[in-house]
Structure 1
Amino acid sequence: MLEQQRRWILYLACFLLPYSATQAASEAQDQVEYREGVFHVMAWDFSQMKRMLEDESRYNAEDFQRRANRLVDMAKMLPEGFPETRPKRVKTDAKKQIWENWDDFQQKLNDIESKAGGLAEAAASGNKESVTKAFGAVGNSCKGCHDEYRKD
């Protein structure tokens, strides 16, 4: 009887173990897709703002402000997209150094949020020179993170 129970436990473990590993990898991949989605929205808005700044005829202060505000909102969502995923098999451009240097990475995320906030404030002021300067600061902040923590 005891031997039969052990056998059933072993069978059950063999059946459930691959499922739990697959489930964990699936959840990790969902997290990767979440953060990539946030980055895609940010990149879209950033590219549209860049077009407005490069071509005066495209500049629309209300649209620019809306996009700058959304950039702030999206930046606030970024930390949620970076739970520990290293031990899981997921497809990502994120380097493992993110989790090895978490405090530095977190500071870079905070910097992006801060710079995006500065851009939203500059857009609200209506001062084009301030907007252009703040826009460059956001771009540099994004680049600083990509250079160190994103695979090419």
Structure 2
Amino acid sequence: MKAAFSFAVAAAVLLGAAPASAQFAKPEDAIKYRQNALFVMGQHFGRLGAMANGRAPFDAKAAADNADIVLTLSQLPWAGFGPGTDKAAPTKAEPAVWAEPAKFKAASDKMQAEVAKLAAAAKTGNLDNLKAAFGPTAASCKACHDDFRK
């Protein structure tokens, strides 16, 4: 039931994401949008990590479902990093996000590519495949946090 609810939330977020940048009446709205997308993505990624690291029993269906949600959400937060969203509300984003946009985009592209590999690995239903894809995905998240998050 939790997975179905999470998937429904992710689907609703995705449907609203296409015109997301047009929906931000204020920079604060964009900040809240990106923070929420990243938070939900982190929750589902954490479930995969618990399975990959042996802290939770491996459930192939749950792994595939969570990986699909992470894949969908990995495409969303970037619209929330527009001009003026560096100072409008409390944020953990470093000034480098706006000072080095090409580097930031490369990091987000790398993370999305690794998440796609993770989702493919999760769909195999094999824990070893999940473990093999989880590490590089986590490393891509960490690299972005190291460079672009306070």
After TM superposition, the score normalised by the length of structure 1 is: 0.76
Match of 1:75 in 2: 74
- 1:50-129 equivalences under 5 Å are 50-55=49-54, 58-85=57-84, 88-129=87-128
The question of whether the paired residues in 2 share the 8 Å contact of 1:94 and 1:150 is answered with yes
What per-residue deviation string (whole Å, max 9, x for no partner) do you get for residues 30-60 of structure 1? 1111101011111100111122223376211
Distance 1:62 1:90, change over 3 A: same
User: How far apart, CA to CA, are the structure 1 residues paired with 2:30 and 2:65?
Assistant: 26
Q: Is the 8 A contact 1:32 1:81 kept in 2?
A: yes
Tell me the TM-score normalised to structure 2 length: 0.77
Per-residue deviation, 1:88: 4.4
The structure with the largest alpha-carbon Rg is: 1
- Over aligned residue pairs, what C-alpha RMSD do you find? 1.8
Cα offsets for 1:101-127 (capped at 9, x unmatched): 101101111111110100011111223
Q: Measured at CA, do residues 129 and 37 of structure 1 come closer, stay the same or move farther in structure 2, by a change above 3 Å?
A: same
CA distance in 1, matches of 2:40, 2:129: 23
Aligned length: 126
